[in-house]
Chains A and B, each alone.
Chain A
Amino acid sequence: MDFNDTPEQAAYRAKVRAWLSANAEPRKDRPSVSRRLDAEEGLALAKAWQARKADAGYACRHWPAAHGGQDRPMIETIIYDQEEANFDVPTGFFSIGLGMCGPVMAQYATQEQQARFIPPLIRGEEVWCQLFSEPAAGSDVAGLRTRCHRDGDDWVVNGQKVWTSGAHYSDWGILVARHDSSLPKHKGLTFFFIDMKSPGIDIKPIKQINGGSNFNEVFFTNVRVPDSQRLGAIGEGWQVAITTLMNERLAVGDAPPPDFREVMKLAAACELDGRSALEDPSVRERIADWYVESMGMKHTKARTMTALSQGKVPGPENSIGKVVSASKLQNVSSFGADLMDMGGVITDPSLMPSSALFQQSYLYSPGLRIAGGTDEILRNIIAERVLGLPGEIRVDRDVPYSDIPTGN
């Protein structure tokens, strides 16, 4: 065992660190820059940052050169991400595009389309979104209702998508729609990429419980999509979508702070029964729990990195990441507010420790337990794919979609 980088990795890390130090501010104990600004300002900053990153050769290094990458080992991307996490840079706007849309375009689009779309995606010039979830199709996304039918060289799309991150500022989107309701649900789906400025697309922001609007409802009324923008064969939409969802779990990633460090710092500053809260045994026990979870994930990632740096396929252990980190964030946030006692309800950043990071995260964290696969779906996936337990009994699998009962 050796936690040091190889000389080559160390040199790369030093180079990355020097570049970041010259180009960004270190992260501070407060919400990140993209969470302090409104979406428009944040996006402008993020586009500028992504372009700088790309110019410096730090965007998508592990992608094949044919797709705009540099054919570098995955470990370099991970090293970059690790180092970037120490800096207060605007991120998040491109994670869906880079994590999901780029890979699906690379696999299914034509050469010409790849040449047209992937470079601006990597540089952050064009933003992409993913149009899968629907009001009646969340975890059961294959049950989606948005219809498409062929009309000459085009397809015509009608229906509604929901929970579309960034639809309002996206240029392009990937879409799954149902072309045939008489087929079983997984078989009647077709996959496209679409111009988000197409006539007939109506976008309405969703106001979340934290007051923010990171997601949208997207309505389609006779939206025309050229058949040339179909990805995969007619009826192959589910297989294409699965490829994308496999990438999503990597794209959604880990929870932001606060973590045990922030609670520890807070506890040291808070008074409880006339002494530092950090001296309270119940506080120490809780922090220890989160430390163990946090380090468990950090070292699990180290195991993954080891496999990657040896050119091996990582084991399934990485699948635990979001389940653990999302709940931890919620628990840490709630506990942090508790430590502030009656004052813990205040959300004005100017009055609060860590600029009200704990209060903000308390309201934000429930979403993380749902996005990119709910805690429940992820546990199903671990149980079925990692532990080999039998799949769910699916009463709707082999019947025509139009015969499946629907509730609310």
Chain B
Amino acid sequence: MNFDFSDAQKALKQQTRDFLRAACDTTVPRRVLEDTDEPFARDLWGQICANESPGIAIPEEYGGIGFGYLELCVVAEEMGRAIAPVPFSSTVYLAAEAILQGGSDEQKKRLLPRLASGESIGTFALSEGPGQATVANLQAALSDGRLSGTKMPVPDGDVADLCVVVARDGDGASLAVVDLAAEGVSREPVDTLDPSRSHARITFDGVEAELLGEAGEGWAIKDAVFNRAAVLFAMEQLGGADACLQMAIGYAKGRYAFGRPIGSFQAIKHKLADMYIKNELARANCYYGAWALSTDAAELPVAAAAARVAATQAFHFASKENIQTHGGIGFTWESDCHLYYRRSKLLALSIGSERVWKDRLISGLERQEAA
């Protein structure tokens, strides 16, 4: 039994944390949040790419550094802690994973090096607006290698170079890679709950699209990609939840009311103890998910869903109760509380809501039972 990260992985985590503490304190996501002309922190993204972080789990033969998924997980936790306003998750957890899962060797060799180096920003487009996307209700469609339809919100869709699109293809769905500079693509930013991470509405009008994986297999590949991404998003959520807990503890120790620190009142203590409990439950589920991801274990679908559900719950609870612990100041624009509150909802919905993941969890358990 060794349910822990290795010393080298822990060192990578500390190194990433130290780097982000210096390069991405909360003034950075706040800057992106407030500045409509800056869709992401280009300077920070440049540094992250210089550190080769996007290629951390991408095999060397495809231009990455081929460390592995446990290494990517520790980096993801720190990205979440720092609420880093960069296109890391879209490029790495979604676009690169989709190509790794669905692409041919030729596609991997052609497309992945650019993502691994950060030369290109990648993203993934499924949602077409409010409501859960299903094979049956997809409007975006592929026909004769051309894609038409509208996707929104697409994370980093306004700045990405490459987009993997889930589109209707006959009776089923297929994945297609689209060059967002191609003719027929029009895109505009769309306002979201968390403007520190930009999103877009992209309209494809007969755009040239390249099939990723077999025709009609798109939905299954999407599910496989989301299972993997779920662990990585959960790690980010875990980092964010821990940041909220630390912020709330700091405030509760220093803020005095009725002649004593508010952290000495049980109403606050128990709230923060509950935050800790949810965070630890999430951490344990996330680590298990990380293990399943790194070993491609048969347990991955259930482990990923459990990590995703636990981390979504933890970050949601921690970010809302962090505001509550701060009281009135926590509701102001100038306080950093809302940066986490916004990010927690954004991440909670990024690859499907908690409700959807709970259903995937139980379906996975049913399959395990049946097997």
Contact A3 B1 (CB under 8 A): yes
On chain A, the residues within 8 Å of B261 by CB distance are: 389-390
Interface members, chain B 276-329 (any A CB < 8 Å)? 276-277, 280-285, 287-288, 290-291, 294-295, 305-306, 309-310, 313
* Chain A: interface residue total (CB-CB under 8 A): 51
CB under 8 Å from chain B, chain A span 137-165: none
Tell me the complex Cα distance, A295–B359, Å: 17
CA distance A131 to B112 in the complex (A): 67
Assess whether B281 is in contact with A384, with CB atoms less than 8 Å apart.
no
Interface residues of B in 316-371 (CB under 8 A from A): 355, 357-359, 361-362, 365-366, 369
Contact with B276, one of A281, A299, A386, A391 (Cβ below 8 angstroms): A386
Are the C-beta atoms of A390 and B288 separated by less than 8 Å? no
Q: Which residues of A contact B309 (CB under 8 A)?
A: 288-289, 292
Give min CB distance, A315 to chain B, whole Å: 9
Q: How far is the CA of A289 from the CA of B285 in the complex (A)?
A: 12
CA distance A299 to B307 in the complex (A): 11
Produce 1/0 per residue, A283-304, CB < 8 A to B: 0110111011101111110110
Residues of chain A contacted by B273 (CB below 8 angstroms): 323, 378-380, 382-383, 386-387
Bound together, the chains give a CA A331 to CA B219 distance in angstroms of 36
Contact, CB under 8 Å: B358 / A288: yes
B264 interface contact, C-beta 8 A: yes
Q: Is the CB of A384 within 8 A of B280?
A: no
Chain A min CB distance to B286 (Å): 9
Contact assessment for B253 and A389 in the assembled complex, using a CB-CB cutoff below 8 Å? yes
CA distance A300 to B3 in the complex (A): 9
What residues on A are CB-neighbors of B249 within 8 Å?
387-389
Contact with B along A1-19 (1 / 0, CB 8 A): 1111110010000000000
Question: How distant is the Cα of A320 from the Cα of B284 in the complex, in angstroms?
Answer: 12
Judging by beta carbons under 8 Å apart, are B1 and A390 in contact?
A: no
* Option from A285, A296, A310 in Cβ contact (under 8 Å) with B281: A296
Report how many A-B pairs have Cβ atoms within 8 Å: 157
Which residues A357-408 have CB closer than 8 A to chain B? 376, 378-380, 382-384, 386-393
Which residues does chain B contribute within 8 Å of A4, judged by CB atoms?
1
Contacts of A278 in B (CB 8 A): 362, 366
B355 to chain A minimum Cβ distance, whole angstroms, is: 7
Given A281-B359, A387-B249: A1 and B263 interface contact (C-beta under 8 Å): no
At the interface, yes or no: B10 with Cβ under 8 Å from chain A? no
Q: Contact between B290 and A387 (Cβ–Cβ < 8 Å)?
A: no
The residues of A that contact B31 with a CB separation of less than 8 Å are none
Contacts of A38 in B (CB 8 A): none
When C-beta atoms are compared, the residue in chain B nearest to A260 turns out to be B365
Q: Is the CB of A284 within 8 A of B362?
A: yes
Q: Are B291 and A292 closer than 8 Å at their CB atoms?
A: no
Task: Name A284's contact: one of B2, B260, B359 (CB within 8 Å).
Answer: B359
Q: Which residue of A lies closest to B288 (CB)?
A: A299
Q: Give A75 to B1 CA distance when docked, in angstroms.
A: 10
Q: In the assembled complex, which residues on chain B have CB atoms less than 8 Å from the CB atom of A309? A: 1-2
Question: Nearest Cβ in chain B — how far from A8, in angstroms?
Answer: 12
Closest to B263 in A: A389
Report whether B264 and A320 are in contact in the complex, using a CB–CB cutoff of 8 Å. Answer: no
CB of A264 closer than 8 Å to a CB of B: yes
A291 — which chain B residues lie within 8 A by C-beta?
306, 361-362, 365
Are A292's CB and B310's CB within 8 A? yes
Q: Do B361 and A288 touch (CB < 8 A)?
A: yes
Q: Which residue of A lies closest to B290 (CB)?
A: A1
* A287 / chain B contacts, CB cutoff of 8 Å: 362
The residues of A that contact B164 with a CB separation of less than 8 Å are none
Q: Does B70 contact A (CB under 8 A)?
A: yes
- Interchain nearest-CB distance for A153 vs B (Å): 45
Q: Give the CA-CA distance A309 to B4 in the complex, in Å.
A: 11
Let me know if B277 and A324 touch, CB within 8 A: yes
The answer, yes or no, to whether A305 is at the interface (CB within 8 Å) is yes
Known: A306-B4, A379-B273, A389-B249. A297 touches B266 (CB 8 A): no
Report whether A264 and B365 are in contact in the complex, using a CB–CB cutoff of 8 Å: yes
Chain B nearest Cβ from A325, distance in angstroms: 11
Q: How far is the CA of A210 from the CA of B61 in the complex (A)?
A: 65
B residues in contact with A324, CB < 8 Å: 277, 281
Chain A residues near B109: list those with CB within 8 A. Answer: none
| A2 nearest in chain B by CB position | B2
Q: Are B3 and A297 in contact (CB under 8 A)?
A: no
Determine if A25 is an interface residue (Cβ-Cβ < 8 Å): no
Of B1, B252, B263, B283, which one neighbours A306 at CB under 8 angstroms?
B1
By a CB distance below 8 angstroms, the chain A residues around B361 are 288, 291-292
The answer, yes or no, to whether B161 is at the interface (CB within 8 Å) is: no
Q: In the assembled complex, which residues on chain B have CB atoms less than 8 Å from the CB atom of A382? A: 273, 276-277
A317 in the interface (beta carbon within 8 A) = yes
Contact partners of B30 in chain A: CB under 8 A? none
B313, A292: Cβ atoms under 8 Å? Answer: yes
Distance in angstroms between the alpha carbons of A305 and B287 in the assembled complex: 14
Task: Report whether A390 and B276 are in contact in the complex, using a CB–CB cutoff of 8 Å.
Answer: no
Contact A390 B277 (CB under 8 A): no
Closest beta carbon of chain A to B326's beta carbon, Å: 15
Docked-complex contact A379 and B281, CB < 8 angstroms? no
Q: Which residues on A sit within 8 Å (CB–CB) of B313?
A: 292
Give the contacting residue for B264; candidates A1, A6, A393; CB below 8 A: A393
B2 nearest CB neighbor, chain A only = A2
Smallest distance from the beta carbon of A349 to chain B beta carbons, Å? 25
Chain B residues positioned under 8 Å from A376 (CB to CB)? 266, 270
Contact B264 A392 (CB under 8 A): yes
A380/B1 contact (C-beta < 8 A), A284-B358, A295-B285, A389-B264 known: no
Nearest chain B residue, comparing its CB with the CB of A6: B1
Q: Is the CB of A390 within 8 A of B280?
A: no
User: A300: which B residues are within 8 A, CB to CB?
Assistant: 280-281, 283-284
B266: chain A residues at CB < 8 Å are 376, 379-380, 392
The 7 closest A-B pairs by CB, nearest first: A296-B281, A383-B269, A299-B284, A288-B358, A379-B273, A302-B3, A389-B263
User: Mind listing 9 A-B residue pairs with CB under 8 Å?
Assistant: A1-B294, A278-B362, A285-B359, A289-B309, A300-B283, A302-B284, A306-B2, A380-B266, A389-B269
Known: A1-B295, A293-B281, A393-B260. 17 other contacts (CB 8 A): A1-B290, A2-B1, A6-B1, A288-B362, A291-B361, A292-B309, A297-B281, A297-B284, A300-B280, A300-B281, A302-B284, A306-B2, A317-B280, A320-B277, A382-B277, A383-B269, A389-B252
